[in-house]
Amino acid sequence: MVAWSEIDTVMFDMDGTLLDLHFDNFFWLKLVPEHFSKQHGVSEKQALAHIQSKSAEVHGTLDWYSIDYWQAELKLDIPRLKCQITDKIRLRPGAEQLLKALVAEGKQVLLVTNAHPISLQLKMQHIRIEKYFERLISSHQLKKAKENDGFWESLKQLFSYDPTRTALFDDNLNVLRQAHREGIAHLRAIKQPDSQQPSLPVAEFPQVEDFGLIAPDTC
């Protein structure tokens, strides 16, 4: 349950939170290695190992989420490849129901994502939920990832909010931990970010499985 009466601002992550993470996992674990393999003349196993090695080098930084970085690193047209699998862009259970309810309740609703602006635009074109948000914010605008020190304080430059009356839904535990350190009071993790993968282990934050079950009109 969420104490909606104690919350004015609700922030949502995108990939793995509002959207099924299967799109991104399929893209990086299957489609990109497949194309890297063909273009560079290595096996798909070698391609995946190379991509994972490069990923480990920049994990937790803005480059990890940057289309520009990966295009330069892999010599692949990342946006074009993403467009090949737009059928996999899907909302998680109850997501739109909750967004509608929060807007009806007069909450300030924000999308705050580490996704590159090109990825953000592509996904909004296919799921049509932009209308529910007061702002769509990519961490690239602030030049630091959401899990980086000071991100949530810097966010106030784009949108003024009271952390003590703010809720954040995110599938990334490091993001939630950083938000906690910076005073955001109401934090929720996601139980199953990828519909094709097992649920995540229980951690220090309450997990949400179906957004529709926590919408204000059901509390």
d(CA 130, CA 174): 26
Looking at the predicted structure, is the pLDDT value of residue 217 above 80?
no
User: Mean per-residue pLDDT for 15-25?
Assistant: 98
Question: Residues of the chain with pLDDT > 90: what percent?
Answer: 97
**Terminal C-alpha separation, the chain:** 7
Whole-number pLDDT of residue 218: 46
Q: pTM for the complete prediction?
A: 0.96
Quick: pLDDT tens for 42-88: 999 999 999 999 999 999 999 999 999 999 999 999 999 999 999 99
Residue 112, classed as helix, strand or coil, is strand
Whole-number pLDDT of residue 168: 98
- Which tokens go with 37? 């393999």
- Which tokens go with 192? 């199953």
Average pLDDT, the chain: 96
Helix 44-58 × helix 67-74 angle, to 10°: 140
Quick: pLDDT tens for 115-139: 999 999 999 999 999 999 999 999 9
Looking at the predicted structure, is the pLDDT value of residue 167 above 50?
yes
Confidence of residue 1 (pLDDT cuts 50, 70, 90): confident
Question: Residues of the chain with pLDDT > 70: what percent?
Answer: 99
Domains of the chain: 4-20+90-218 (3.40.50.1000), 23-87 (no CATH)
Whole-number pLDDT of residue 84: 97
d(CA 158, CA 162): 13
